[in-house]
Amino acid sequence: MVKVLQEEYPTLLYVQTPKKRESAVDAMLVDNRSMEIQYVVEQKTRQISEEQWQYYNHTWLITTAKVKKLQEICRSLCIPGMGLLYMPPQGLILCKLLVDSAGNMLVPYEDHHTLTQATCNSEHKPKVMRENRYINMKAAKKITCAPIPYRV
């Protein structure tokens, strides 16, 4: 995914936070000429087909707490927040500006308390009830890449 993004945005460098720890954000997009941070990034990978994506009405579920943390960081750094949703089976990356540099949401969303996985980063996937934000990604910029078959 990172290689595809760098081909699409050659002046931006994708700098990710440590994967083995739970970071407040997933990455920063940095201008490789000025070395200034351009975007704070919330990135998720979803192993879903086009049919599943249509079933979910092109909506991305993110925990509300994670989005509020993104808003807080954007506000404190005066930098906008970008959402990147990577769907390997479709060979698709969706990019959408979610938060402005003042920390305000730029996209319509709905918050609902729902039962979801506690984390995607563990062997055991316990369920928890929490507030989740549903963001419609239908109008997001689409970047295509080679599909990667679904993996469990």
Examine the pLDDT at 121 and tell me if it is beyond 60: no
C-alpha closest to that of 17 among 121, 147, 137, 124: 121
Mean pLDDT, rounded, for 117-129? 69
C-alpha closest to that of 87 among 109, 112, 54: 54
Domain ranges within the chain, ordered by starting residue: 2-144
**132 vs 59: CA distance, rounded Å:** 12
What is the helix (H) or strand (E) element at residue 67, kind and residue range? helix 64-77
pLDDT at 123: 57
Amino acid at site 53? W
Q: What is the CATH number of domain 2-144?
A: 3.40.1350.10
Please give the model's pTM, rounded to 2 decimal places: 0.87
